[in-house]
Amino acid sequence: MTTLDCRGLACPGPVMRARDLVDEKAPAGIEVLVDNEASASNVARFLENRNYTVEIERGRGEFKIRGLRGEGADSCELIPTHRLETAGKQTLVMISADRLGSGDDTLGRGLMFSFIKTLGEMGENLWRLVFLNSGVKLTVKGAETVPLIRELVESGVSVLVCGTCLHHFGLIEAKEVGETTNMLDIVTSLQVADNVINI
């Protein structure tokens, strides 16, 4: 069992270190130590994507992610956890705030609600939404935007929510829609998208 101590590393450090180790040595067993739930989730998803059987041990302020390699894992290419087959949905919208514009917060929240409600008008061109910074607040319990985002997911739109941001705001357990992700997946998504809209 090869051990990586990634405690104290900011996103996407733990995932990138795990990726480098798997690419270079393809160990039969790997244990990664992290100090927050977002990193634990990200590393676990990465290892599962590389055909490792994964279990997470939660301790006091620490997480151990153990992975045992399955058949064919050493020949598996790096594919982000979130599917990249766009099938014509190649516009990525990055939402980094819980309101639109500045000047009046009430107006800004209303504008953001209307913006998300109207995103479906993009049709099949809309591929992925990425929520980060205070934008993650739009995906959590109690947010009036959650049903709107769920409708987009049901229509086939991919939704990624920054795990580091959720952790920062203490909202890991409150997230109700979208997949918790890391900066490596976000950057890869930017590379693949034909169009990127920043809000």
Residue 131 CB coordination number (10 Å)? 30
Here the CATH number for the domain that contains residue 14 is 3.30.110.40
Q: Is the pLDDT of residue 183 over 60?
A: yes
pLDDT band at 68 (very low <50, low <70, confident <90, very high): very high
pLDDT at 29: 94
Give a yes or no: residue 86 inside a domain: no
In whole angstroms, give the CA distance from residue 99 to residue 104: 10
Please state the rounded mean pLDDT for residues 15-35.
92
Please state the rounded mean pLDDT for residues 77-86.
44
**pLDDT tens string 103-127:** 999 999 999 999 999 999 898 899 9
Q: Residue length, the chain?
A: 199
Task: Output helix, strand, coil percentages for the chain, rounded to the nearest 5.
Answer: 45, 25, 35
Give a yes or no: residue 84 inside a domain: no
164 and 97 in a common domain: yes
Nearest C-alpha neighbor of 65 from the set 112, 7, 115: 7
Give a yes or no: residue 81 inside a domain: no
Q: Is 56 helix (H, G, I), strand (E, B) or coil?
A: strand
69 and 106 in a common domain: no
pLDDT > 90: percent of the chain: 67
**pLDDT tens string 156-173:** 999 999 999 999 999 999
Backbone angles phi, psi at 19, to 5 degrees: -60, -45
Q: pTM for this structure?
A: 0.72
Specify the higher pLDDT residue, 46 or 81: 46
